[in-house]
Structure 1
């Protein structure tokens, strides 16, 4: 059974130039997306429940591919729910909802859950991310039991970072997929 990938965007969703969207367009048979009712005024309860709604319908091994506030959504989901289908999570540029003044309007995302994740995970961070320091991202990885990858200066690892289809990210994602994985182009 092939591994599938479920993207979990952050604040404002991921636009057409974001690597999450590009991956979905490149491989629609393997990638699907969580769609939230309100990308601009996030509410933890709503976002976590939507994630649970989609995960509860899974029928194949799945890796979560989260970005920014989507990462924080995943850890809150894992603190409340579980699924035998979730085999891993790629957590890219987790937004520090506790310390970032830029995220003061997000509802209910603090305190961030620091429980270890019950599946393999990798936190990928940048040294010049305006939404979380590299030290804080390393702290997240340690708390969640995640492998940690420092990309250097890549901003918030989003469309503004001009990563296009982010081949390095695809290589990292391959580490999370099981032996049934067909392949990422």
Structure 2
């Protein structure tokens, strides 16, 4: 992905923001053209603040963009797509959470998510090609719910097996498939463009 015509990869982290040993951080270190949405200083649980932060990053990128979102970053991405029409070449959406159900201890309560604008989840087709990665044992969403989301968004579904929430707590640090999926998405969507 060293080509000057290659898209800029925009990393959209979840609510935990930048984590040094997270696969998104490790992937960003391997890419030439990459920008990460910076952590918020205030209103960390505000969906509108997070959508605005993503839109700000995208407004500063020239040329094609591929989004790489994880967890709540997927929800930020789909809410952003429902509100904005900037061109996006494609998106990798890994381990989307189900914010319509109670989350495990240590995560925001449903009431807090509701009051900060996270629900309901947009269920219209995304205006760009996307790949959703689903886990069979994700504590933040059932496999069946992620399949429903992928279908609603018009996304290609990748069954990752039993990978938990695809985060360091689930044993992912480095996730070799991430780079392959991004490269596949870039190659497949370049043909469309």
Q: Same fold (TM over 0.5)?
A: yes
Cα distance in 1, alignment partners of residues 169 and 24 from structure 2: 13
Q: Deviations over 1:66-102 (max 9, x none)?
A: 0000000000000000112x10110000011111334
Cα distance in 1, alignment partners of residues 103 and 168 from structure 2: 21
Query: Per-residue deviation at 1:156?
Result: 0.1
Check the 8 A contact 2:135/2:160 in 1, yes or no: yes
- Stretches of structure 2 that go unaligned for 5 or more consecutive residues are none
Q: Give the TM-score, by structure 2 length.
A: 0.86
- Stretches of structure 1 that go unaligned for 5 or more consecutive residues are none
Partner SS for 2:186: coil
Q: Deviations over 1:26-65 (max 9, x none)?
A: 23x3221001315894211100111111112221111000
Query: Per-residue deviation at 1:173?
Result: 1.4
> In the alignment, which residue of structure 2 is the partner of 1:52?
55
> In the alignment, which residue of structure 2 is the partner of 1:71?
74
> In the alignment, which residue of structure 1 is the partner of 2:156?
147
Compare 169-178 and 44-53 and name the one that shifted more: 169-178
Cα distance in 2, alignment partners of residues 119 and 156 from structure 1: 24
Aligned CA distance change for structure 1 residues 179 and 113 (closer, same or farther; 3 Å): closer
Cα distance in 1, alignment partners of residues 174 and 63 from structure 2: 25
1:7 aligns with 2:16: no
Cα distance in 1, alignment partners of residues 128 and 169 from structure 2: 30
Check the 8 A contact 2:27/2:178 in 1, yes or no: no
Partner SS for 2:6: coil
Query: Per-residue deviation at 1:171?
Result: 1.1
Compare 88-97 and 101-110 and name the one that shifted more: 101-110
Compare 160-169 and 105-114 and name the one that shifted more: 160-169
Name the structure where helix makes up a greater proportion of residues: 2
> In the alignment, which residue of structure 2 is the partner of 1:170?
179
Q: Give the TM-score, by structure 1 length.
A: 0.90
